């Protein structure tokens, strides 16, 4: 298992931001369940996932870690934002 999941040390501000995003995602899921699993709330979970990927990319950049990992995080963030944009523009029709 250690081959696929590496342990990364994060600084306190990044850990705090990550916990706040997990709490926000949980609240969005609860609101979605209260409103009969409304699809509009799921879009914002995708948006938070994109923001999380951006934060991971900035953390790699600031710690001067592997450049490929940083580019991968930013690339995944672009994909999350593209999915959010498509769902936001065409999801209501």
pLDDT of residue 68 exceeding 80, the answer is yes
What pLDDT shows up at residue 76?
93
Under DSSP, the state recorded for 91 is: S
Contact of 48 with 25, CB cutoff 8 Å: yes
Place 79 in a pLDDT band, splitting at 50, 70 and 90.
very high
pTM: 0.78
Domain edges within the chain: 12-90
Distance CA 55, CA 14 (A): 8
pLDDT per position as a tens digit, 30-66: 888 888 777 778 888 999 999 999 998 888 888 887 8
Question: Within its chain, how far is the Cα of 54 from the centroid?
Answer: 8
Q: How many CB atoms are closer than 10 A to CB 20?
A: 11
CA distances from 76 to 26, 31, 61, 71 (A): 21, 26, 15, 9
């Amino acid at each position: 298992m250690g081959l696929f999941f590496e342990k990364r040390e994060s600084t306190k501000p990044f850990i705090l931001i990550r916990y706040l995003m997990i709490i926000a995602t949980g609240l969005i899921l609860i609101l979605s369940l209260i409103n009969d699993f409304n699809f509009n709330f799921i879009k914002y979970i995708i948006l938070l996932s994109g923001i999380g990927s951006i934060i991971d990319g900035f953390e790699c950049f600031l710690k001067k870690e592997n450049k490929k990992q940083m580019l991968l995080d930013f690339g995944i963030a672009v994909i999350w934002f593209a999915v959010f944009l498509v769902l936001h523009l065409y999801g209501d029709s």
